[in-house]
């Protein structure tokens, strides 16, 4: 009796363990055992390692993951590798605009049916609906929504207690004197300039498509040109703000989040007219079958609802699935409630702007030449 | 009479084995040359593969335009008879050829690649061709293609679209090279770009001017240091040598970033000047994110490249010459200027050319501290390589830079004489 009882107890105790064992590892048929993941390095890549790669490796102990930090030059490197006929990358994290370029160039794989590749939401909604409009083309699996927006110093004496409340305050040197940091490229700056020159949001790209519109945007920017420090790396603005070199500056919202929340700098967010952009995964074209199987298996796992929400534990970028949003909450890792820091939070997104990928794909080369010429004048 | 004695009679000298000495010597020399060639073969192969072939590839890319005739073979042929200067659109046969070409291209997914290529010349071509790749499949062969194309996108009825295709229909183009000197192809021949888009010539000039300035400052700062290194006792000069070499062992990015900390408006130097009272808090100096920042940071970074060749030449100048000059009645300045300096000129030449050539190709430091007025042509080349992916234009800019550098080298050779340059 006693032994039976004991045996029963052991069996009962073992059962969940056995069930867990079964879940602990997963199989992947005909999959390569190494995978090279390319991303941006820094805090962002770290959040991907924690939220996607470590859990995936726990399920697949046989896998070796090689991390590469070349996303900033991904398009050029992908083209060089394709020309040399030796693509060593398996999955590449890129900006949406770069994904469009690579898709056009035939450097990355096109998905015939995205629902066959990605997991449905927990309630069964197919991925194509869950991601919705963020699936900007057939090559790109969106991961996060980030925004380029402004941060300002909260201790500027010259401002007499006023704080900027709209993006147009950036152009107002009377009320808010001091240097500004803007990105050294036409994208975002031209849109903000036209918006603050009185162009309605929905007309911005129509106006910018004309020579007069470009002139108008430059004229508006001329008003602050000699007060602008132009940045090229996203880390520059938080540094410039922290040093007091500039009083207001644009950068990616996650960079400002770390400066404000993790480093306690006297900086506040200006979310008005934040410019939404996407970052996500692409797969190089024509991978060998076993490597492709591995990447597809990884992508299915890494872009499901829970995993996208997990990433927001580590960094303040919004998950690209609508089903992930309700799962974003208090971050045990950072010790703060993440929701109010997300660009997609309703309170932050009252007045926002969506980057028009198609328009910029057409006009970027032309406007960039004009922008560079304007900068040197 | 034997052959040997016959040769001897003609006056040629014989080696021990009886062959004429000339032949024997030539043979020995050939073997020696072959051995020498074998020794340098790895380096030669490396230079050919890693240096000469990339340069040839770059020169080729700056004129290569294969993608247009490859993607639109029939259209290019059909367009040959069309007069691009006129106001009339090309006729139905061209539209039909375009349809045929695009059906093939869309199947191979090369139409978007062509779109990216032509978009460098005419904004909007990218989306025009992307949409056309989808649209051609639905077109019917029974109706005129011209109307169907224009119905799909009115830009197909815009004569500028066709002029662009016609101008860039050859397998080779001078378009990139023209672009690199602020010109553009038009139906009336090459023209200057509108003033609002001219940038490259100015950047070339600025690159030259700033590089010369940097070379001058490295010489100004480096000469006295090299002189000290050469004349001081070994123990002291070793210490200075370490200070000169120390920057070499520090990352370029760290050195550039430290200049940011020092030079910015809220930086160390400005703080110090305000504290001393030389400038007021409201008028802090702008020393970074402009040409000044580039000159200061790059002078510092390139300084060792000036000091080391100077030092190695000065080391060979015997100090007894200076003493002799002085004992013959020259004062310090005359002795230096008339006796010492002329002997150090080969070092100046070597250092100057080294620093100048290095600074012309620099791009990381100008990118970080140059703002808008301190960036170089190399920053634009890097932009076209990694961001805009316009490798043709990047190659054309690099070709121009190569030509300018070779021309300067030629002038330098004429003025200073390259035989006069010594590294030690």
Q: Torsion angle, CA of B280/B286/B292/B298, rounded to 10 degrees? A: 100
What residue of B is the nearest CA neighbor of A137?
Answer: B130
CA distance A244 to A248: 9
- What per-residue confidence (pLDDT) applies to A22? 45
Chain A residue with Cα closest to B376: A376
B4: Cα separation from own chain's centroid: 61
Q: What is the pLDDT of residue B137?
A: 87
Angle of CA points B220, B223, B226, to nearest 5°? 150
In angstroms, the separation between the Cα of residue A230 and the nearest Cα of chain B is: 6
Domains, chain B, ordered by start: 3-56 (no CATH), 67-173 (no CATH), 200-420 (1.10.3720.10)
Closest CA to B95 of B162, B160, B154: B162
Q: Is A372 on the interface with B (CB under 8 A)?
A: yes
Q: Write the Ramachandran bin of B200: left for phi over 0, alpha for psi from -120 to 50, otherwise beta.
A: alpha
pLDDT recorded at residue A9 = 43
Smallest Cα–Cα separation from A280: which of A66, A64, A105, A118? A118
Return the minimum-mean-pLDDT range out of A3-12, A365-374, B131-140, B207-216: A3-12
Name the band, by pLDDT with cuts 50, 70 and 90, for residue B360. Answer: very high
Q: Residue A23's pLDDT is what?
A: 55
Please, what is the angle between helix B111-119 and helix B125-135, to 10°?
160
> CATH assignment of A148-277+347-376, given 3.40.190.10, 3.30.750.24, 3.40.50.720, 3.40.30.10?
3.40.190.10
Average confidence score pLDDT of chain B: 91
| pLDDT score of B10 more than 70 | no
DSSP state of A108: B
Which pairing describes strands A352-354 and A267-282: parallel, antiparallel, or unpaired? Answer: parallel
Say if residues A54 and A307 touch (Cβ distance below 8 Å).
no
Q: What is the pLDDT of residue A14?
A: 43
Dist. CA B57–CA B50, nearest whole Å: 11
Best mutation target, B209, B388, B390, to test chain A (most A CBs within 10 A): B388
Closest chain A CA to residue B201: A373
Q: Helix (H, G, I), strand (E, B), or coil: what is residue B157?
A: helix
Residue B22 predicted with pLDDT over 60 = yes
CB contact under 8 A, A244 and B266: yes
For position B269, what pLDDT does the model report?
Answer: 94
In chain A, % of residues over pLDDT 90: 79
Looking from the CA of A125 toward its CB, the CA atoms found within 13 Å total: 15
Spatial distance between the Cα atoms of A37 and B127, rounded to a whole number of angstroms: 30
Q: How confident is the model at residue A11 (pLDDT cuts 50, 70, 90)?
A: very low
Contact list in B for residue A360 (CB cut-off 8 A) is: none
Q: What per-residue confidence (pLDDT) applies to B418? A: 77
Please give the residue of chain A at the shortest CA–CA distance from B367: A232
Q: How far is B145 from chain A (nearest CA, A)?
A: 25
Asked if A353 and A150 count as a contact pair (C-beta separation under 8 A), the reply is: no
Interface probe, candidates B199, B370, B383, chain A, greatest A C-beta count within 10 A: B199
| CATH code linked to domain A29-145+279-341 | 3.40.190.10
How confident is residue B5, by pLDDT bands cut at 50, 70 and 90? Answer: low
Does pLDDT of B337 surpass 80? yes
- pLDDT tens digits along B241-296: 999 988 888 898 899 989 999 999 999 999 999 999 999 988 899 999 999 999 99
- pLDDT tens digits, residue range A161-194? 999 999 999 999 999 999 999 999 999 999 999 9
**CATH 3.40.190.10 residue window(s) in chain A:** 29-145+279-341, 148-277+347-376
pTM: 0.88
pLDDT-derived band at A335 (thresholds 50, 70, 90) equals: confident
Burial A63-84 (b: 16+ CB within 10 A, else e): bebeebebbbebbbbbbeebee
Report, as an integer, the average pLDDT of A221-229: 95
Confidence of residue B8 (pLDDT cuts 50, 70, 90): low
For residues B193 and B107, what is the distance between their CA atoms, to the nearest angstrom?
37
Residue B352 has pLDDT above 70, yes or no: yes
Share of chain B above pLDDT 70, in %: 97
| Per-residue pLDDT at B3 | 54
Does residue B79 contact residue B165 with C-beta atoms inside 8 Å? yes
Distance of residue B412 Cα from the nearest chain A Cα, in angstroms: 30
Whether residues A375 and B372 touch (CB distance < 8 A) is answered with: yes
- A2: pLDDT confidence band, cut at 50, 70 and 90? very low
Percent helix, strand, coil in chain B (nearest 5)? 75, 0, 25
Q: How many CA atoms are closer than 13 Å to the CA of B1, on its beta-carbon side? A: 7
Q: Give the range among A3-17, A46-60, A131-145, B143-157 with minimum mean pLDDT.
A: A3-17
Q: Which residues of B touch A110 (CB under 8 A)?
A: 109
| Complex-level ipTM | 0.85
pLDDT above 70 covers a percentage of chain A that reads 94
What integer pLDDT is reported at residue A3 of this predicted model? 43
Mean pLDDT across the stretch A295-306?
Answer: 95
Q: Is the pLDDT of residue A329 over 90?
A: no
pLDDT-derived band at A12, boundaries 50, 70, 90: very low
The reported pLDDT for the residue numbered B14 is 80
Alpha-carbon separation of residue A198 from A145, A204, A228, B110 (angstroms): 27, 10, 21, 41
Average pLDDT, chain A: 90
């Amino acid at each position: 009796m006693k032994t039976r009882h004991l045996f029963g107890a052991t069996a009962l105790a073992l059962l969940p363990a056995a069930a867990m064992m079964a879940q602990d590892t997963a199989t992947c048929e005909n999959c390569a055992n190494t995978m090279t993941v390319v991303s941006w390095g820094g805090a962002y890549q770290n959040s991907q390692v924690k939220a996607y790669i470590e859990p995936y490796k726990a399920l697949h102990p046989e896998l070796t993951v090689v991390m590469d930090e070349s996303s900033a030059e991904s398009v050029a490197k992908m083209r060089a590798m394709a020309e040399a006929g030796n693509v060593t990358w398996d999955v590449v994290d890129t900006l949406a605009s770069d994904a469009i370029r690579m898709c056009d160039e035939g450097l990355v794989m096109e998905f015939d049916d995205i629902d066959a590749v990605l997991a449905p939401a927990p309630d069964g909604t197919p991925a194509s609906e869950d991601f919705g409009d963020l699936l900007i083309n057939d090559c790109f699996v969106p991961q996060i929504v980030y925004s380029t927006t402004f941060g300002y110093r909260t201790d500027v004496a010259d401002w007499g207690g006023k704080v900027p409340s709209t993006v147009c305050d950036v152009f107002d040197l009377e009320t808010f004197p001091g240097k500004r940091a803007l990105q050294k490229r036409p994208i975002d700056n031209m849109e903000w300039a036209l918006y603050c020159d009185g162009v309605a949001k929905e007309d911005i790209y129509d106006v910018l498509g004309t020579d007069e519109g470009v002139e108008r945007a430059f004229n508006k920017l001329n008003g602050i040109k000699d007060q602008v420090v132009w940045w090229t790396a996203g880390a520059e603005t938080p540094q410039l703000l922290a040093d007091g070199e500039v009083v207001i500056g644009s950068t990616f919202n996650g960079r400002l989040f770390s400066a404000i929340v993790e480093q306690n700098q006297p900086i506040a967010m200006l979310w008005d007219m934040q410019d939404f952009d996407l970052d996500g995964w692409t797969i190089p074209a024509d991978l060998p079958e076993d490597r492709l199987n591995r990447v597809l298996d990884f992508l299915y796992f890494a872009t499901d609802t829970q995993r996208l929400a997990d990433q927001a534990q580590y960094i303040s970028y919004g998950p690209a699935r609508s089903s992930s949003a309700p799962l974003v909450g208090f971050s045990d890792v950072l010790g703060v409630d993440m929701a109010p820091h997300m660009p997609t939070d309703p309170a932050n997104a009252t007045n926002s702007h969506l980057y028009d990928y198609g328009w910029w794909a057409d006009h970027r080369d032309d406007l960039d030449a004009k922008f560079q010429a304007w900068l040197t004048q | 009479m034997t052959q040997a004695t016959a040769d001897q009679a003609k006056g040629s000298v014989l080696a021990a084995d009886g062959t004429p000495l000339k032949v024997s010597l030539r043979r020995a020399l050939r073997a020696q040359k072959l051995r020498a060639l074998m020794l340098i073969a790895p380096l030669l192969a490396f230079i050919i593969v890693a240096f000469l072939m990339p340069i040839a590839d770059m020169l080729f890319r700056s004129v290569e335009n294969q993608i247009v005739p490859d993607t639109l073979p029939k259209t290019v042929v059909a367009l040959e008879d069309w007069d691009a200067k006129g106001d009339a659109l090309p006729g139905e046969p061209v539209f039909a050829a375009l349809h045929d070409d695009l059906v093939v291209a869309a199947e191979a997914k090369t139409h978007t690649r062509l779109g990216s290529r032509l978009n460098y010349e005419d904004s909007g071509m990218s989306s025009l061709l992307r949409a056309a790749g989808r649209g051609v499949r639905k077109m019917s062969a029974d109706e005129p293609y011209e109307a169907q194309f224009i119905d799909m996108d009115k830009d197909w009825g815009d004569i500028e679209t066709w002029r662009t295709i016609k101008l860039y229909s050859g397998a080779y183009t001078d378009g990139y090279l023209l672009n690199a000197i602020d010109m553009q192809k038009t139906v009336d021949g090459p023209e200057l770009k509108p003033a609002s888009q001219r940038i490259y010539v100015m950047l070339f000039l600025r690159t030259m001017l700033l590089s010369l300035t940097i070379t001058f400052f490295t010489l100004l700062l480096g000469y006295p240091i090299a002189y000290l290194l050469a004349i001081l006792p070994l123990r002291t000069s070793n210490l200075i040598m370490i200070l000169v070499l120390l920057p070499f062992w520090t990352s370029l990015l760290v050195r550039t970033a430290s200049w940011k900390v020092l030079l910015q408006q809220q930086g160390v130097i400005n703080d110090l000047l305000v504290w001393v009272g030389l400038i007021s808090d409201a008028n802090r100096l702008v020393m970074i994110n402009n040409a000044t920042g580039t000159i200061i940071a790059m002078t510092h970074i390139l300084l060792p490249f000036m000091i080391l060749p100077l030092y190695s030449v000065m080391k060979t100048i015997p100090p007894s010459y200076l003493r002799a000059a002085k004992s013959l009645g020259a004062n310090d300045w005359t002795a230096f200027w008339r006796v010492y300096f002329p002997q150090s000129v080969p070092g100046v030449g070597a250092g100057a050319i080294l620093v100048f050539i290095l600074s012309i190709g620099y791009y990381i430091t100008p990118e970080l501290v140059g703002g808008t007025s301190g960036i170089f042509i190399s920053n634009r080349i890097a932009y076209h390589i990694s961001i805009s992916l316009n490798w043709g234009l990047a190659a054309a800019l690099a070709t121009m830079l190569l030509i300018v550098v070779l021309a300067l080298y030629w002038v330098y050779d004429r003025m200073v004489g390259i035989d006069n340059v010594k590294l030690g």
